[in-house]
Structure 1
Amino acid sequence: MSQRTPHAARPDLQADCGNCFGLCCVALPFARSADFAANKAAGTPCGNLQEDYRCGIHERLRDSGYPGCTVFDCFGAGQKVSQVTFAGRGWREEPGTARTMYEVFPVMRQLHELLRYATEALDLAAAGPVHRDLRRAVERLDALTRDTAGTLLATDVAALRAEVNTLLLRASELVRAGVPGRKKDHRGADLMGARLRGAGLRGASLRGSCLIAADLSGADLRDADLIGADLRDADLAGADLTGALFLTQAQLNAARGDRATRLPAGLERPRHWTASA
């Protein structure tokens, strides 16, 4: 199938750390592990966060013991909360806003994630039958992200996610129906460590599947639905992900691959892949 218009072209759905108050470095907790070199409680600034809200080790996160930071994506929620919801007034300058800001951030992230997926679905020509409903969903989500902190905190995100997911699922089915042959259904499957080297998974549903440390080297994942799939430490060396549906940069950053891995338009080859190629 042909390459599609990159959905990632929308700058508001990409993280812009220069216009964010380091919210992912403050609002969210993390525990000392293989992903993080230290413990940090929610609402406590990371020790690497500088006075200008920038990360002091951003260029060497993996080498410094913070690979978990490299696989997090706020989908542009950070700058939206910082510059729109709180009109450019940071938690350091106005400490009284801090708690509300930290509570709004994860809500905004979920909304931006839904916007990102719905926007991608609008790029799918085969999903034309649901484009009208998708456009309405995008307009509704976009308007909500620009509303007040109180409205955002009162939003039933779970219900909204269920509504949008119905449209995303239908869009996926319409696109994958055009893939020849029988498509495999591994939706929600536990495939941790699975040996899928060279597997024919074109047009497959891998929605929400656990693919941690799975061997997908050389696999055919063209037009496969990968929304919510856990690809941490999955081997994608030589795999073909052309046209993969709802694949995010964060998922790629969490996986392993090489120069032979084929990616969808709009996504970049992680730097640590090149080092291991």
Structure 2
Amino acid sequence: MPDTRESVLRGDCANCFGLCCVALPFARSADFAVDKSSGEPCRNLREDFRCGIHTRLRPSGFQGCTVYDCFGAGQRVSQVTFGGVSWREAPETARQMYEVFPVVRGLHELLRYLTEALALPAARPVHAEVRAALARVEALAAGAPDALERLDVNAVRAEVNPLLLRTSELVRATVGGRPKSRRGADLIGKRLRGAKLRGADLRGALLIAADLTGADLSLADLIGADLRDADLSDADLTGALFLTQPQLNAARGNAATRLPEGFERPAHWAA
């Protein structure tokens, strides 16, 4: 079985060459204080590949950095795919390293979802297929730079998605009744205080700045849901499916927000 432990699928900046700070572009906005093109090192990136303003990103205008996670792709590309030799030490590898990084990030995100699916007892009918998919995606992520650069990660995502959908259906069926479906719905800024969304399908829903105070989101499928600035104060996310730490980091909440096991309460949330 491939090593897909939760700790491996989280960013480890100490073992990365600052790839998200170099490979990815961003534009001056509410999330970033400056413009930066792909391949251009962020002005805050130090010689040791660490962020010079890590402890004050939000007040410095780099909120976008606080809601990003490479799912462990950074350290894998740095230490495994390119053998621990950085783009500074071998500038000729820089272009390919920057191309490979988002591909591996996409594969690691899929590994994160598949690993979660295997831990859900209600999804046991598809566990054999999930294991096979997990092994295949892990093998792809372990590929050589040339193979990764050519890989169509969207095609891999399309192969895996039916399994994740089936997993979601099996788990949400345990709620009973007919769970609500708001898949891909535009719920930007909607007032959803106290909404009964237990077991709801919210895949890809736009919940930007939505008021979800006190909402019941337990066992809801939140894969790809946009929770930027959504208010999750007093909400119940127990057992929420395919939720990620970056989604929580992009939202607002408080000490009474109930989180699934293994998640960290964002530092900027209200007490």
TM-score range relative to shorter protein: over 0.9
CA distance in 1, matches of 2:77, 2:23: 12
Match of 2:15 in 1: 19
Tell me the CA shift for residue 262 of structure 1. Answer: 0.1
AA at the equivalent of 2:12: D
Among candidates 92, 108, 111, match of residue 112 of structure 1: 108
Tell me the CA shift for residue 9 of structure 1. Answer: 4.9
Q: How is 1:11-90 mapped onto 2 (pairs within 5 angstroms)?
A: 11-90=7-86
Match of 1:136 in 2: 132
Match of 1:212 in 2: 208
State whether structure 2 residue 169 is matched by structure 1 residue 173.
yes
AA at the equivalent of 1:171: T
CA distance in 2, matches of 1:32, 1:158: 28
3-state SS of 1:119 partner: helix
Tell me the CA shift for residue 132 of structure 1. Answer: 0.5
Match of 1:255 in 2: 251
AA at the equivalent of 1:157: V
State whether structure 2 residue 263 is matched by structure 1 residue 267.
yes
AA at the equivalent of 1:112: H
3-state SS of 2:268 partner: helix
Match of 2:193 in 1: 197
Q: Describe the superposition over 1:121-169 as per-residue Cα deviations: whole angstroms up to 9, x where unpaired.
A: 1000000111001101111111111110111112121111011111000
Match of 1:99 in 2: 95
Backbone CA RMSD of aligned residues: 0.9
Among candidates 117, 120, 126, match of residue 122 of structure 2: 126
3-state SS of 2:174 partner: coil
Match of 1:4 in 2: none
3-state SS of 1:112 partner: helix
Among candidates 233, 240, 253, match of residue 237 of structure 1: 233
Q: Which moved more, 1:154-163 or 1:118-127?
A: 154-163
AA at the equivalent of 1:42: S
3-state SS of 1:47 partner: coil
AA at the equivalent of 1:251: Q
TM-score, normalising length: structure 2:
0.97
3-state SS of 1:104 partner: helix
Q: Describe the superposition over 1:172-198 as per-residue Cα deviations: whole angstroms up to 9, x where unpaired.
A: 000000002321000000000011000
Give the conservation status (yes or no) of the 8 Å contact 1:9–1:266: no
AA at the equivalent of 1:163: E
Tell me the CA shift for residue 225 of structure 1. Answer: 0.2
Among candidates 151, 157, 164, match of residue 153 of structure 2: 157
AA at the equivalent of 1:84: V
Q: Which moved more, 1:236-245 or 1:145-154?
A: 145-154
Among candidates 134, 140, 146, match of residue 142 of structure 2: 146
Give the structure, 1 or 2, with the largest relative contact order (CA under 8 Å, sep 6 or more).
1
TM-score, normalising length: structure 1:
0.95
3-state SS of 1:117 partner: helix
CA distance in 2, matches of 1:104, 1:47: 22
Q: Describe the superposition over 1:205-246 as per-residue Cα deviations: whole angstroms up to 9, x where unpaired.
A: 000000000000000000000000000000000000000000
CA distance in 2, matches of 1:47, 1:159: 35
CA distance in 2, matches of 1:104, 1:155: 9
CA distance in 2, matches of 1:38, 1:155: 31
Runs (4 or more) in structure 1 with deviation over 2 Å come to: none
